[in-house]
């Protein structure tokens, strides 16, 4: 199928993606729209206007989610939900999350123009703080509407000491009214998300889009190691309790653990490290770092986690430091609904587009939704698999094909509720 024979309006979609990329723009192609920031608010206001243009009613809930709704013939029926996020990493790209929100708006805009009234209501959501980089815990809005926030989440602080509760207030939300914004489980019929792949698989298969089979489960830990500070010039090597040395050994060990089976999709990463007092001539006393471990096979991930915890214990002993491990996130792999994947298979072949099936390593808002309803995801090829980087790139042709498949899938799910 060529872009010229699409039902959706790819030009309009392209323009909105390009316009949104101007908000929080960094450099030529990057964006920085941290959750609940001024830039995020400006983006929400803009996208809200597009939702209204597309024929939806739209509002921002107290979790900071932007929600648009197209009424169905049966307004009381559980909704078909579509969405993603428009917040970004501090040094992020233009497509991560945004194509899922703007693609879903394009789907609705097309339906309304074609005077199609869905049988069940359809809602499009730009979920608040999917990325999790500001308060070190993601999927805030999507877990929020499902009543899945954990104790203490509102007290989490960003690097400037601002709590999430304060950030919500500054955003115009009322943290005391969160409970009013929770969806009863039976209110969501199914969930669809369009997203860039953020990996190199589709490109290697020469396919513009792919059908996601499931999301692998992330485990997030924060490890803190405590040694003893001393003068870098005077404390002899055997007498040191160097917390950074211990951390370095753990980081190298995590890499060994995650790569021990070259055929497996397991990945392990330390992406953030803080050193105290962080001075050239002081032996590091305290180091905190994050661990991100993912796998589609939960048994294997559990086994690797055990190996890592043992390694931390051994290395701490060897380096004379103490340690603590905090678990920030622990999710199992979640598989997409077979009936939705079936619709996507049929529709992509009707479009004459090759859409191979693949797992998602990164997690998405769909992960939170997977616990309450059937869900399906469409991936769009991205150049060299690059994401969370201003160099992130997908062609508008590929994004349009993904949006067309989203349109066709949404049409079938909203006309034939099960
Ligand atoms: Zn994303």
Instruction: Please tell me whether residues 253 and 343 are part of one structural domain.
Output: no
Judgement on whether residues 250 and 285 belong to the same structural domain of the protein: yes
Residues 48 and 187 in one domain: yes
Look at residue 3 in the predicted model and tell me its pLDDT.
Answer: 66
CA–centroid distance, residue 294 to ligand 1 (Å):
16
Supply 391's token pair. Answer: 């160099």
Q: Which two tokens stand for residue 29?
A: 């192609």
Distance 37 CA to ligand 1 centre (A): 17
Q: What is the mean pLDDT of each run of 10 residues along the chain (418 residues)?
A: 84 97 94 96 98 98 98 97 96 95 98 97 98 93 96 95 97 97 94 96 95 92 97 95 98 98 90 97 98 91 97 98 96 93 97 94 92 97 92 96 98 78
* Six token digits for residue 380: 């769009």
CA angle 400/402/405 to nearest 5° reads 110
Cα of 362 vs centre of ligand 1, distance in Å, is 8
Number of domains in the chain: 2
- What is the per-residue pLDDT across 182-201, written as a single tens digit (0 to 9) for each? 999 899 999 999 999 999 99
Distance between Cα 389 and ligand 1 center (Å): 12
* H-assigned helices in 177-283: 201-204, 243-258
How many C-alpha atoms does 306 have within 13 Å on its Cβ side?
Answer: 6
Distance 320 CA to ligand 1 centre (A): 40
Q: Would you say how long the chain is, in residues? A: 418
Ligand 1 centroid–CA 96 distance in Å is: 5
Claim to verify: residue 281 and residue 301 sit in the same structural domain: yes
Separation of alpha carbons 392 and 99, rounded Å: 13
| Distance between Cα 366 and ligand 1 center (Å) | 10
Instruction: Quote the CA–CA distance of 332 and 236 in Å, as a whole number.
Output: 46
194-200-204 Cα angle (round to 5): 110
C-alpha of residue 195 to centroid of ligand 1, in Å: 7
**Boundary of a domain, candidates 330, 355, 377:** 330
pTM summary value: 0.83
How many angstroms does the Cα of residue 252 sit away from the middle of ligand 1?
Answer: 28
Same domain, 325 and 342: no
- For CA atoms 279, 284, 285, 288, the dihedral sign is positive
**What is the residue range of 110's domain?**
3-216+333-415
Angle, helices 396-415/10-20, rounded to nearest 10 degrees: 110
Domain end call among 270, 296, 330? 330
Rounded distance from Cα 84 to ligand 1 centre (Å): 7
Whether residue 410 sits in one domain with residue 314 = no
**Distance separating alpha carbons of residues 251 and 240, to the nearest angstrom:** 19
CATH code assigned at 255:
3.30.70.360
Residues 361 and 200: beta-carbon distance below 8 Å: no
Does the bond joining 277 to the residue before it have cis omega, within 30 degrees of 0?
yes
CA 34 – CA 207 distance, rounded (Å)? 31
Residues 320/237, Cβ–Cβ less than 8 Å: no
Residue 23 Cα to ligand 1 midpoint, Å, equals 17
Q: Which of 292, 312, 330 is the last residue of a domain?
A: 330
Q: How many CB atoms lie within 10 A of CB 179?
A: 8
Contact at 8 Å (CB) between 147 and 185?
no
CA of 246 to the centre of ligand 1 (A): 33
pLDDT reported for residue 416: 57
Verify that 179 and 246 share a domain, yes or no: no
- Phi, psi (deg, nearest 5) at residue 397: -65, -50
Phi-psi region of 320 (alpha: psi -120 to 50; beta: other; left: phi over 0): left
Distance 230 CA to ligand 1 centre (A): 43
**Residue linked to tokens 């009707």:** 350
Rounded distance between C-alpha atoms, residue 199 and residue 411, angstroms: 28
Look at residue 338 and give its three-state secondary structure: helix
Residues 237 and 291 in one domain: yes
Q: How many Å lie between the centroid of ligand 1 and the Cα of residue 393?
A: 13
CA dihedral 76, 81, 87, 91 (to 10 degrees): 180
Distance 261 CA to ligand 1 centre (A): 27
CA of 143 to the centre of ligand 1 (A): 15
State the distance from the centre of ligand 1 to the C-alpha of 301, rounded, in angstroms: 23
Cα 278 to averaged position of ligand 1 atoms, centre (Å): 32
CA of 244 to the centre of ligand 1 (A): 32
DSSP for 282-319, please give it.
Answer: B---EEEEEEEEEES-HHHHHHHHHHHHHHHHHHHHHH
Cα(157) to ligand 1 centroid in Å equals 22
Q: Strands 217-226 and 188-196: what pairing?
A: unpaired
Q: What percent of the chain has pLDDT over 90?
A: 91
Is 363 found in the same domain as 255?
Answer: no
pLDDT in tens, 350-367: 999 999 999 898 889 999
CA of 95 to the centre of ligand 1 (A): 8
For residues 128 and 144, the answer to whether their CB atoms sit within 8 Å is: yes
- The rounded distance, in Å, linking the Cα atoms of 43 and 36 is 10
Q: Residue 239: how many CB atoms within 10 A of its CB? A: 11
Amino acid 369: pLDDT: 96
- Determine the distance separating the centroid of ligand 1 and the alpha carbon of 345, expressed in angstroms: 23
Distance 392 CA to ligand 1 centre (A): 12
The domain that contains 410 carries what CATH number?
3.40.630.10
Average pLDDT, the chain: 95
Q: What is the radius of gyration, based on Cα positions, of the chain? A: 23
Quick count: other Cβ atoms within 10 Å of Cβ 364?
27
Please indicate, yes or no, whether residues 8 and 66 belong to a single structural domain of this protein.
yes
Query: Ligand 1 mean position to 223 CA, how many Å?
Result: 25
Are residues 112 and 154 both part of a single domain?
A: yes
| 247 & 384 share domain | no
Structure confidence at residue 418 (pLDDT): 47
Q: How far is the CA of 172 from the centre of ligand 1 (A)?
A: 24
* 339 token code pair: 């009936």
């Amino acid at each position: 199928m060529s872009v010229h024979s699409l039902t959706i309006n790819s030009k309009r979609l392209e323009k909105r993606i390009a316009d949104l990329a101007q908000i929080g723009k960094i450099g030529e192609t990057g964006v920085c729209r941290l959750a609940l920031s001024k830039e995020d608010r400006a983006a929400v206001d803009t996208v809200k206007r597009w939702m209204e243009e597309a024929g939806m009613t739209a509002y921002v809930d107290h979790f900071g989610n932007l929600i648009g709704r197209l009424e169905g013939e049966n307004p009381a029926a559980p909704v078909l939900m579509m969405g993603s996020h428009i917040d970004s990493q501090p040094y992020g790209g233009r497509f991560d999350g945004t194509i899922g929100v703007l693609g879903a708006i394009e789907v609705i805009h097309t339906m309304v123009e074609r005077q199609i009234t869905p049988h069940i209501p359809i809602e499009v959501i730009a979920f608040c703080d999917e990325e999790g980089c500001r308060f070190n815990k993601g999927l805030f809005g999507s877990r929020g509407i499902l009543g899945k926030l954990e104790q203490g989440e509102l007290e989490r602080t960003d690097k400037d000491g601002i709590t999430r509760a304060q950030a919500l207030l500054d955003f115009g939300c009322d943290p005391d009214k969160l409970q009013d914004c929770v969806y009863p489980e039976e209110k969501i019929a199914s969930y669809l998300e369009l997203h860039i792949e953020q990996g190199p698989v589709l490109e290697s298969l020469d396919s513009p889009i792919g059908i996601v089979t499931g999301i692998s489960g992330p485990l997030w830990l924060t490890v803190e190691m405590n040694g003893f500070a001393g003068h870098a010039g005077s404390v002899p090597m055997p007498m040191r309790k160097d917390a950074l040395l211990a951390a370095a050994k753990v980081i190298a060990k995590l890499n060994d653990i995650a790569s021990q089976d070259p055929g497996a999709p397991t990945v392990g990463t330390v992406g953030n490290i803080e050193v105290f007092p962080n001075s050239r001539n002081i032996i590091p006393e305290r180091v905190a770092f994050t661990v991100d471990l993912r796998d589609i096979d939960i048994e294997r991930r559990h086994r690797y986690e055990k190996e890592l915890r043992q390694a931390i214990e051994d290395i701490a002993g060897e380096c004379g430091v103490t340690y603590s491990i905090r678990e920030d996130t622990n999710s199992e792999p979640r598989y997409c609904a077979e009936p939705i994947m079936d619709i996507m298979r049929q529709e992509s072949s009707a479009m004459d587009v090759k859409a191979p099936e693949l797992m998602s390593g990164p997690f998405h808002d769909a992960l939170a939704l997977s616990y309450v309803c059937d869900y399906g995801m469409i991936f769009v090829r991205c150049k060299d698999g690059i994401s969370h980087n201003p160099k992130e790139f997908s062609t508008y042709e590929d994004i349009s094909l993904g949006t067309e498949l989203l349109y066709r899938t949404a049409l079938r799910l909203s006309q034939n509720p099960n």
